[in-house]
Amino acid sequence: MNTRERLRLLILAVLERQPEHGYAIAQAIHARSEGLLTAREGTLYPALHALEGEGLILSEEREVGGRLRREYRLTEAGLGALARTRTDWQAQIRAVQAVLGLPQQEAQS
């Protein structure tokens, strides 16, 4: 999985929990990965626009804390894409674990 695909997966996973605006998505990726993963923040918005163009997420302007912010949320198509990507990612992890001789872990639900 290349960097671009990984960023797409991370964005979809964050939005699965709740709608967020761009900065909150970047912070969520950083926080949930315990600082290991960072969305290069300038490149976050091209990724968001690409996902919106594909119909996987939608956006609308909302007032948040007295300021107008553009909030993104997952669509049904986005949920499906996330589920498929998760399955592929888990398969890749199992394959690498098998090659490295590591014990196979149960997939987290």
Partner 1 sequence: MTSPKPMTLHYWLTVALKDLPEPVQLRLEDEYRAHLLDSESPNDVQGVLGDPNMVKKQLGSLYFTTYKLKELEQAKRGRNIFVHTFVAAMALLGSWIAWDSHGKDLTQLFGPVSVLLISAVVWGCSARSPLIKRQFVRSSWTVSALQIMLWSGWTISLLSGQSLGAFMGYYVALFPALMLYQFWDARQNYLRLDRTLRLVGTPN
C-beta of 6 vs 21, nearer to partner 1: 21
Tokens found for residue 34: 């315990």
C-beta of 3 vs 108, nearer to partner 1: 3
Contacts with partner 1 by CB under 8 A lie at 21-23, 26, 40-47, 49-50, 53, 67-70
Q: Which helix (H) or strand (E) holds 46?
A: helix 41-53
We find the least distance from the C-beta atom of residue 75 to partner 1, in angstroms, to be 15
C-beta of 45 vs 105, nearer to partner 1: 45
**Residue (of 58, 59, 62) closest to 75 by Cα position:** 58
We find the least distance from the C-beta atom of residue 92 to partner 1, in angstroms, to be 25
Burial of 74 (0-12, 13-18, 19+ CB in 10 A): buried
We find the least distance from the C-beta atom of residue 28 to partner 1, in angstroms, to be 13
Residues 72 and 22: beta-carbon distance below 8 Å = yes
We find the least distance from the C-beta atom of residue 54 to partner 1, in angstroms, to be 8
